[in-house]
Amino acid sequence: MDEFILITTEIPGSDEGTITMNSQGETNLKKNFLMLTVCTVLAVSILSGCGKSNNDSSNSATNGNATEKPVEKVTISLLTDNTQDFANVAKAVIDAFQVKYPHITVEHETRPPGAEGDNFVKTRLSTGDMNDVFFYNSGSLMHALNPEENFLDLTNEPFMDNVIDSYKPTVELNGKLYGVPAGSTMGGGWFYNKKVYEELGLSVPQTWAELIANNDKIKEAGIIPVIGTYKDSWTTQLIVLADYYNVHALNPTFAEDYTANKAKYATTPAALRGFEKLQEIGEKGYQNEDFLATTYDTGLKMLAEGQGAHYPMLTFAIPVLEQNFADLMDNIGFFAQPGDSPDQNGLTVWMPSGAYISKQSDHIEEAKLFLEFLTTAEGVAAWSSASKPVGPWAVKGVEVEDDVAQVVKDMLPYFEENRTVAALEFVSPIKGPNLPQFTVEVGAGINDALNAAKGYDKDVEKQAQQLGLEGW
Amino acid sequence: MSKVLKQTYSYLFLVPAAIIYLIIFIVPTIMSFFFSLTRWTLSDWEFIGLQNYQTFFEETALRIGFKNTLIFALVTCVMKVVFGLLLGVFLTSKIRTKNYLRSAVFFPTLVSTIAVGIAFSQMMHPSQGLINKALGFIGIAGPDWLGDTSIALLSVAFVDVWKGVGFATVLFIAGILSIPDEYYEALQIDGGNSWNKFWSIIIPLSRPAMNSVIILSFIGGLRQFDLIWAMTKGGPGFATDVIASIIYKQYVSGYFGLSTAGNVILFLFVTLLAFPLQMYLNRKEVSL
């Protein structure tokens, strides 16, 4: 309802005047009052219905080739989330872009990350205030934004050929492509402190049982085996989400069946394993004492300083680690979440966010130039200068440089040996919004794996119904 | 001037206010009743009857939500009445630093709820927080205020009382100061003590103030959202979810029709509890 209030509050002042003009006949007064009321209601509903379509006229001006005639100065705006890393990246990319296209100025605006940010983006899209270019998740979250209605279709843009093919399905809906990769790919798995591993003579686990054995030894040595940061509840999902490679290895059709309401977390043993693994970590007391009150930032500090040996996390944590613990980076390694058998060991990969263009943009051509820039070696180099990649790039022919973090180097073998699979949220449009709550419950021992998986299945069902998917 | 105009012209003055009220309250309210019956993406809707209501009542955390909402409203309401009354009596008595103390008590009301929530969740950190460090100093091992599912809600309720008691106190001060002196004189003549003064004069005659405090804090408690969101986001798990936070999470997930249905239910729930309460309280009011 907030949107309607936003729109409607601007109207009343302009309409109040009409009453004096209409009140010449005294007996008409009551009628006029009624009419006025009806008119206002109508005006409001018409205005709120049409609020989005007022930008169509201005696109034609910029269709010509940008270099031919003396071009007008144009300002486009870019929306990213407000993390320090994105602030640095946006600055570097915008600077490089503006050097290449001096007539375009890019203004950078930020929004909060996470669910709050989702809300922010949705509100902007629905009120027609969206920035020209915006970065947002690819995969299922992107689908939830109703791209056909809100995003510019990029399917036939030549620059889409620069994007690696495995990325495209994550920004696709009904055969149309809507975004280009904003950033590098990343892995979901276990960060570990190499120094702790060295001191205790441990080796990277190939199976879950080996990981548990390592944890026991680490605990005996008085070091926290697994860092839990439940205050930021999204961090608790990792063990379940990063297990998808193993789910996929045992049930290659899980994503399809899951989307079609044929497979459930609670009734698919391979999928339930993720919840069970989390429960095991919680039950065996591997986590730090204050895990419920510990934040993500503290978790990274504990990992870098070796207070904790493992931290299940996405590799997007690398830039923050590099910024705060540059001298400790060589101590931090990474491995994929192991499965139950040594020959099915591989990495669950998160595709980069997308850069999208709002359909309501007044400067679509300039916005396209910006997206094109992101898919060039120059654009990637500018990005990389501000924030080193957290995995291989999703742009064709661009390799990671030699000076990347050890964590990224640890990821490369999985890519080279083709032992990767895109995370479930990129191949299925459904991801229940309450997963963090359920994983908190399991990891904190409030609920057991099976019950939480059942609860999560219900959460997913609700989402599928709300999205209006077939078969739910 | 005709008779009709004479009788009706005064309504003209109501029109501006009525229009604003209509546009920003009545219309959205009616629209929300309608959209609660649809699957709604803000730009597009599909009529699905009562399915949203069914889904809402099947919500996993809903039972916890209703229970928590009631507990939260009752606990904060009772505590605000008790502490507000005691502080009100104290701050109307003959003490020197009365004005300073009144400001001090009222001050928390002026601070942003989110800021209060963030500050307290830092202070309630189980090992690094100020509260547990202070308790540790005197040899008590404090609990994990916001992490322990059995006390997390009460911890938030405590902060809400800390923040809201100032307002309750101001209402009580106003109520107590409006009691005419004759009653106290009569008490002196009859030889009553301070207890009689409190029990037989202040409590019954500050009833209107007390009723306002009860109603306002009860409704406020039922609708509580911002403080809970700032402190626990409904967690750990679903342990401190209230109806408002469940609705918010649905809204953030993009279930606009469903969350609108939730808001209609919350509206009815608050009305069903608050309206009879107000009727009951009004009947018991004594006129001065």
Residue A311 phi/psi, 5-degree rounding, is -145, 105
- Could you check whether the bond before residue B236 is cis, i.e. omega within 30 degrees of 0? yes
pLDDT number for residue A256: 85
pLDDT number for residue A407: 87
Q: How far apart are CA B103 and CA A377, in angstroms?
A: 62
Query: Which residue of B11, B23, B30 is the best one to mutate when testing the A interface, meaning the one whose CB has the most A CBs within 10 A?
Result: B23
Residues of A in contact with B235 (CB under 8 A): 230, 233, 437, 440
Q: Are A92 and A62 in contact (CB under 8 A)?
A: no
Nearest Cα of chain A lies from the Cα of B276 at a distance, in angstroms, of 28
Residues of A in contact with B22 (CB under 8 A): 37, 40-41
Ranges assigned E (strand) in A7-144: 74-81, 104-111, 133-136
**Is A229 touching B (CB cutoff 8 A)?**
no
- Residue A201 Rama label (left phi>0; alpha psi -120 to 50; beta): left
Of the two residues A11 and A383, the one the predictor is more confident about is A383
pLDDT (mean) for A210-217: 93
DSSP letters spanning B46-100: EE-TTHHHHHHHH-TTHHHHHHHHHHHHHHHHHHHHHHHHHHHHHHHSS-TTHHH
Nearest Cα of chain A lies from the Cα of B249 at a distance, in angstroms, of 8
Tokens of A139: 């995969």
Query: Which residue of B253, B258, B266, B267 is the best one to mutate when testing the A interface, meaning the one whose CB has the most A CBs within 10 A?
Result: B253
**Res. A143: pLDDT tops 90:** no
Residues 6 or more apart whose CB falls under 8 angstroms from that of A116 comprise B252
Residues of A in contact with B124 (CB under 8 A): 293
Is B144–A292 a contact, with Cβ atoms under 8 angstroms apart? yes
What sign does the CA torsion over B128, B131, B132, B133 have?
A: positive
pLDDT number for residue A53: 40
Is A146–B235 a contact, with Cβ atoms under 8 angstroms apart? no
Residues 6 or more apart whose CB falls under 8 angstroms from that of B135 comprise B141, B142
Nearest Cα of chain B lies from the Cα of A335 at a distance, in angstroms, of 28
In B, minimum Cα distance to A2 occurs at B28
Q: Are B214 and B167 in contact (CB under 8 A)?
A: no
Ranges assigned E (strand) in A194-302: 224-226
Query: What is the three-class DSSP state of B3?
Result: helix
A-B contacts (CB, under 8 Å): 145
pLDDT number for residue A66: 45
Q: How far apart are CA B275 and CA A98, in angstroms?
A: 61
Q: Are A244 and A348 in contact (CB under 8 A)?
A: yes
Q: How far apart are CA A1 and CA A123, in angstroms?
A: 11
Is B24–A5 a contact, with Cβ atoms under 8 angstroms apart? yes
A273-319 pLDDT tens trace: 999 999 999 999 999 988 998 999 999 999 999 999 999 999 988 88
**Res. A40: pLDDT tops 60:** no
Residues 6 or more apart whose CB falls under 8 angstroms from that of A443 comprise A228, A230, A236, A239, A278, A279, A281, A282, A287, A291
With a cut of 70, list the residues of chain B below it in pLDDT. 1, 42-43, 60, 285-288
Q: Residue B160, exposed/middle/buried by CB under 10 A (0-12, 13-18, 19+)? A: buried
Is B252–A433 a contact, with Cβ atoms under 8 angstroms apart? yes
On average, the pLDDT of chain A sits at 82
Residue B240 phi/psi, 5-degree rounding, is -115, 25
A68-108 pLDDT tens trace: 556 678 999 999 988 887 888 999 999 999 999 999 999 99
**Is A425 touching B (CB cutoff 8 A)?**
no
Is B60–A466 a contact, with Cβ atoms under 8 angstroms apart? no
Q: Which residue has the tokens 């002026």?
A: B110
Q: How far apart are CA B265 and CA B251, in angstroms?
A: 14
Residues of A in contact with B128 (CB under 8 A): 290
pLDDT number for residue A47: 46
Q: Are A390 and A318 in contact (CB under 8 A)?
A: yes
A5 band by pLDDT with thresholds 50, 70 and 90: very low
Nearest Cα of chain B lies from the Cα of A13 at a distance, in angstroms, of 8
Task: Report the DSSP beta bridge partners of residue B46.
Answer: B39
Residues of A in contact with B238 (CB under 8 A): 437, 441
DSSP letters spanning A145-158: T-HHHHB---TT-G
Task: Give residues 312 to 341 of A whose Cβ lies within 8 Å of B.
Answer: none
Residues of B in contact with A115 (CB under 8 A): 249, 252
Tokens of B92: 């109307």
CA distances in angstroms from A29 to A35, A192, A312, listed in the order given:
10, 78, 71
